[in-house]
Structure 1
Amino acid sequence: MATVLHYYTLLSFFFFLFTLLESSSHPDTPPLLAFKSSTDVTNSLDNWNSSTTPCTWTGISCLNNRVSRVVLEGFQLNGSLQNLTILKELRVLSLKYNHFSGSLPNFSNLSALKLLFLSHNEFSGKFPESVTKLNKLYRLDLSHNRFSGEIPVELVNRLTHLLTLRLEENAFSGEISGVNLVNLQEFNASGNRLVGAIPFSLSRFPVSAFGKNGDLCGSPLPKCTMTDVNSSSGGAMASPLSPATTIASSPSSLPVNTHNLSPKNSRRGGGKMSSLAIIAIILGDLLVLTVVCILLYCFFCTRKNLNGSEFREGEKIVYSSSPYGSYHPNTSQTGGFERGKMVFFEGAKRFELEDLLRASAEMLGKGGFGTAYKAVLDDGNVVAVKRLKELNVGGKREFEQQMEVLGRLRHPNLVGLKAYYFASDEKLLVYDFMSNGNLFWLLHGNRGPGRTPLDWTTRLKIAAGAARGLAFIHNSCKSLKLTHGNIKSTNILIDKSGNARVSDFGLAIFATPSSIPKTNGYRAPEVALDGRKITQKSDIYSFGVLLLELLTGKCPSVVDNGGGVATTYGGVLDLPRWVQSVVREEWTAEVFDLELMRYKDIEEEMVGLLQIAMACTSTSPDQRPKVNYVVKMIEELRGVEVSPSHDTATDSVSDSPAVSEDNTCGASQ
């Protein structure tokens, strides 16, 4: 017994010694302990010690055994950040709501840094130019400090990946007219001393992003006047041909050098210009302005898909503008955080929020309810993540109840909801990733040479699959009368087997007025004009528009520039009215997509689907068919099953073990 005890004691000693050696040999331990020693006067970081590895310390996360995240918000820290600049593998640094002051150190050594949050401190001095050397930086928040001086615009423009730039509530001065960050999604420079014209690249942001500056002008603020231009340039007019001249937010805000065009000044140059020369100059200016407008138009058109959703291929993102949600100074939670948690549904592979935050990801698209991303986790698992915004959520319980209902919906023609995350300032939905894109891209993408058209059999298969998915939603919980609320071709995804999967369903219940497009070609008339709530009948109308889109190849959410008989409403192609006008004139063949004309013996089926679509898009909700009948009519077009994974609409709803009245509706009782 004594021998066993002796060996046990010896083993424990060696284990302790190994742990001590391991922690002391960690390359990031010395700089972190030096940082604690100089900043943590209240000993808030009490588990930071040399006997443990830094990867277990409060606010520290590691990747490949190197510190990758330092998130210390609201710990009453003060002093210098110099020791943190030694952490070469650092990707996230958040020190919000502390008491740091003085100038920032040189950050150029942190070449891997992606997120930098230093708001709500007392930092001072000039804009930290070393930050502009961090070419991987996505989000920069210097707001609510005491920074002053001019913003080095030319250096800031080097941060081409920047998604967030928050500079509000400082004492920055000078102009921002040269800022050109095309990928910027979040910007705020309010509460400073900025002057001059707002550049075109920033004019898309709201008025609140520029408020409390006094001497800023141009869209979205009032137009610039000659007085504004004089005051911002110290009373001297800049030449309109000067390299420093930038495109302002509107043509009327361009600085016009009327002084140099006056006859008096013309004579100073050695004689009065001829009328022909003046006309030539005017025509030249108009030509240059026209070319610039065309280039800008083409630039922004290529950055948007046809229904107004932005697509940026290959863009890397970080989901949250704060790595762990918001810090609230008055909370009593440990560390001052108000954090949510990942909630998973049955059968979903589990992971942590931190796994999502450090995932390799790219933007898939941006819609009314938020932005979707493809995320590749460290283990190789691929998911789709939707970051929700502008939701009218009454409270956490209401949100959880709706997610519980949606998470239980399982069907071969639905995109399954795997998990969700809820915090006061961050709401994420995690879905199965569909590798073959969406119907919108199959129909409208790459219409030029070399395009592979979407054949009729595939279109009919997609129509049937989408109808089954919608039928399942409508019938899965009769007491709640679930609706989709946002049916459109970008929300019909295609899985690896080529089957249609309906996505983005059930979120319309949280819609706000700003999240609903005013010009949406899929929206039922009673919803678009009268502001009524979305119903299952309005879903049928939207689905009918989708069928017309399949048949015509026309997108119902773009302005019709054909100059033909197309009818528009609010600048958006009213596809049902256009189809009705063509059919009324007995030009039915003119309705169908030219890409379908190459296929033989499909005219009867196309006309049959057209009749279904026109019934669905009846202006009277009561005259629209129910979804089960729509499924039946589509499947009867060929008299055979269109999809190999077929369930009849009624059977797939009533007899499916995945959903019943008890286990679905019970979540919201």
Structure 2
Amino acid sequence: MMAQQATILGGHSRLIVLLFIIVLHFVTCSCKSEAEILLKFKESLKDNGALSNWNNAKPPCNGDNEKWVGILCENGTVWGVKLENMGLGGVIDVDALKELTNLRTISLMNNNFDGSLPNITKLGALKSIYLSGNQFSGGIPANVFDGMLSLKKIYLARNKFSGEIPQSLITLPRLRELMLQDNEFDGEIPQFHDGMLILFNVSDNELIGEIPYGLSHMNASSFSGNKDLCGSPLESCAPAKLSVGTIIVVGILVTLAVAALITVVIILSWRKQTPEQEQATASIPNNRKAFSTDLDKMEQGTASPVKSTNSKKGDNNVKLTFLQDDREKFNMGDLLRASAEILGSGIFGSTYKAALNAGKAMVVKRFRHMNNVGKEEFHEHMRRLGRLNHQNVLPIVAFYYRKEEKLLVSDYMENISLTVHLHGNTSRGHPCQDWPTRLNIIKGVAKGLLYLYNELPSLVAPHGHLKSSNVLLDGSFNPLLTDYGLVPVVNQDQAQEHMIAYKSPEYKNNGRITKKTDVWSLGMLILETMTGKFPSSFLQQGKGNDADLASWVETVVKEGNDDMDQVFDKNMGGKEKSEGEMMKLLQIGLNCCEAEVDKRWDIKEAVERIEQVKEKDNDQEYNSTGFV
């Protein structure tokens, strides 16, 4: 009997605790009803009676039916506020609206609102914003749309907005409609990606410069009324009469060129008078030379990117922008005084190894085809890349901006790149040549690529230029990705001609890159690493014979295992009892290279499959010291 009573009391106790929790929730909850939130929003408006039926007599929604004027409902909750053509004015209380957790659209078009743009950043879940036909004025902060990743439609037409079009617009992955006509925007149009926007209009503003390639397919009327805009679909940008400002700029550049020439003459004269230094220079290999001298000679007609560092004023003009706060700082003068080894010269520019006086070796990459991107946009994008932090992603230490050229500075990697060890001199038996090391490199590349996808979600191709020469190797042969995230800042015509993402099947067939394009590049890298052969698409620049490395490997695999010896790199050691796992990785490479995008794995699945590959068959773990 007592046990039964205890059981009953125990049940009652649990019920009391549960009721207490429920009561406590309602007592402590500060949530307001949607009616209270909307009435709070109404308080700051001048409505002239247009919102007279907004009251507590009835809720704003009944199922999908609105009971209050201008409210859009779904499943009994407010998902939109549509107050158009009502003569409304006053202040838009964004803080009140942000409490509407299901709010996805707001339209206040054709009213009398004025002042600066409200802080819509607080409404991060919005899908559409309609504020056209008001009296809003002033500049819009560049970062106002940061984090609003759901935005699809932005209508700000027929206002008095001025200043530059916000750069944060290009970071919105779902943006499809952008209407900015009949304002006072000036400056250049941001570099919207090709195919990003379906509807676009910036007519009747004060915009200048060349229309970005990603918008060249739009109707010409979308750009009319901007007398200083040029480029497709408008007339081509042709040389115009030089303005006073342009003449001044040209004069400065000529002065810089003369100063650079004088500097070179002085340096050469000084060297002739210093036999000790001449002897030291003679001991440096032929491909080593002063960094400044080589930059002067790189391109005819291009002035040195820096001035002399002999004066304090010169030092200010050539300051590097550092992205890593914990790094020891140096300036352009330190690089100029360093002897530099030319590591390579490609389509985008040259790469140097510069040995600083402190003994630290840095890599300086000079980019020539980024002159269409503005300074503010470039700085913002570099800061974004500078925040990346992953063991398989090479950090950008610092950068230098000039309209004609850009310099990116990073750490020097002892074992150069995967290309060097796959296709360079193999006679010395580099450790990179064995199967366990190659597998470790591919796994590191995959992890780094997945990290870029997670951290750069707004980029269609977060890497965009993945190839073996852009996989650097540290002293332990751990891979680090470089030249990543540059698609937004490389001139579109150069990107389409030379970047690996634009060699993918989807771009060849449909003129588009997708979220799976980097996966295709990863697959090609796997096949290159396993076979030791250059992908033909790299050598042919996407032209000529359509047969590529993936097609060749797939053909051999289908013919049977008897022919597999001709697939795997003959220089790859450590293959004993690993053929099964090697075949797994080879097949993963082929799946990543699937020509049909819908059938190709996404990055997450590709990385998961790569992580499952072992160094030895029968799931035996193996490292350089033996079985574990």
Q: Given the two structures, how large is their TM-score scaled by the length of structure 2?
A: 0.49
* Higher RCO (C-alpha under 8 Å, 6+ residues apart): 1
Q: Given the two structures, how large is their TM-score scaled by the length of structure 1?
A: 0.46
